[in-house]
């Protein structure tokens, strides 16, 4: 059986626990990384995860906003809850998990959305986003014979032309502006990270993981963006066995506007 890892911006884990349980029951990833959990640590729904067979639970949360959590069917060890940009807003969690004889460092990220105005001089949220991505240059994709790295999460940037429904119309929209995409790809490459979702997918093929709540019929309009990502260190590429974007989850009851992405590795 492969080692599987899922990432999902759940947009409130307590509100959407029923669909999280559905994901765990139907797909049973070894590790699930959640973003935008919107819950302080003392109120995280641990019992529900344990009941679903996920006994190993780590979280980094706060009341009402942001927050990340990583849960697993196998032991995980806390490595770091990193504070970015000198702001305590619960956007990162890293853990170690054993898979296929390797110690795999798993980073779970929730990058700031950046607000609506793509001008760092007048929009402090956009400035925060750019600064956050710059600081991610300090997160390398380390790996050797006995170790490897995976980075997943809602990174809130659609870097390539066909990661959005209309490159031309979204060039001035936060998440796809040139300053974001250029800095984002430079950061990824500088850290030695491999974009697994684009590894064997043609550049002209559309890939989306997010559909706005504002669309009356998200499926018919299909105006999506690829905001959720799965990266790895280069030494995991030979073990990468593919991934699935669970687009159907956007239509589940009380859905998140993001859908899960599940990546598979032949490590076990």
What Å distances lie between residue 140 and 119, 135, 230, 234, CA to CA? 28, 11, 14, 11
The structure's pTM equals: 0.98
Evaluate whether 110 touches 35 at the Cβ level (below 8 Å).
yes
- Report the pLDDT value the prediction gives residue 119, as an integer from 0 to 100: 97
- Report the pLDDT value the prediction gives residue 216, as an integer from 0 to 100: 87
- Report the pLDDT value the prediction gives residue 17, as an integer from 0 to 100: 98
- Report the pLDDT value the prediction gives residue 1, as an integer from 0 to 100: 67
- Report the pLDDT value the prediction gives residue 53, as an integer from 0 to 100: 98
- State the SS3 of 117-185: CCCCCCCHHHHHHHHHHHHHHHCCCCCECCEEEEEEEECCCCCCHHHECCHHHHCCCCCCCHHHHHHHH
pLDDT tens over the chain, length 268 residues: 689 999 999 999 999 999 999 999 999 999 999 999 999 999 999 999 999 999 999 999 999 999 999 999 999 999 999 999 999 999 999 999 999 999 999 999 999 999 999 999 999 999 999 999 999 999 999 999 999 999 999 999 999 999 999 999 999 999 999 999 999 999 999 999 999 999 999 999 999 999 999 988 999 999 999 999 999 999 999 999 999 999 999 999 999 999 999 999 998 6
Calpha distance 215→163 (Å, rounded): 18
């Amino acid at each position: 059986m492969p080692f599987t890892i899922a990432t999902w911006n759940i947009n409130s884990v307590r509100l959407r626990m029923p669909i999280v349980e559905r994901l765990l029951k139907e797909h049973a990833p070894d590790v699930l990384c959640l973003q935008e959990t919107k819950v302080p640590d003392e109120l995280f729904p641990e019992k529900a995860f344990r009941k679903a067979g996920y006994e190993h639970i780590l979280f980094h949360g706060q009341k009402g906003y942001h927050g990340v959590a990583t849960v697993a069917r196998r032991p995980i060890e806390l490595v770091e809850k990193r504070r970015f940009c000198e702001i305590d807003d619960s956007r990162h969690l890293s853990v170690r998990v054993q898979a296929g004889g390797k110690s795999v460092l798993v980073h779970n990220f929730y990058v700031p959305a950046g607000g609506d105005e793509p001008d760092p001089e007048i929009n402090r949220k956009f400035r925060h986003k750019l600064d956050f991505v710059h600081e991610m240059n300090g997160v390398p994709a380390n790996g050797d014979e006995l170790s490897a790295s995976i980075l997943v999460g809602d990174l809130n940037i659609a870097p390539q032309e066909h990661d959005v429904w209309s490159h031309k119309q979204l060039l001035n929209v936060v998440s796809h502006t040139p300053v974001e995409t250029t800095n984002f790809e430079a950061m990824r490459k500088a850290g030695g990270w491999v974009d697994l979702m684009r590894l064997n997918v043609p550049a002209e093929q559309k890939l989306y993981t997010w559909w706005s709540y504002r669309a009356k019929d998200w499926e018919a309009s299909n105006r999506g963006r690829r905001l959720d990502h799965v990266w790895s260190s280069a030494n995991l590429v030979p073990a990468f066995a593919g991934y699935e974007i669970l687009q159907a989850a956007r239509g589940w009851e009380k859905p998140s506007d993001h859908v899960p992405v599940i990546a598979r590795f032949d490590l076990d």
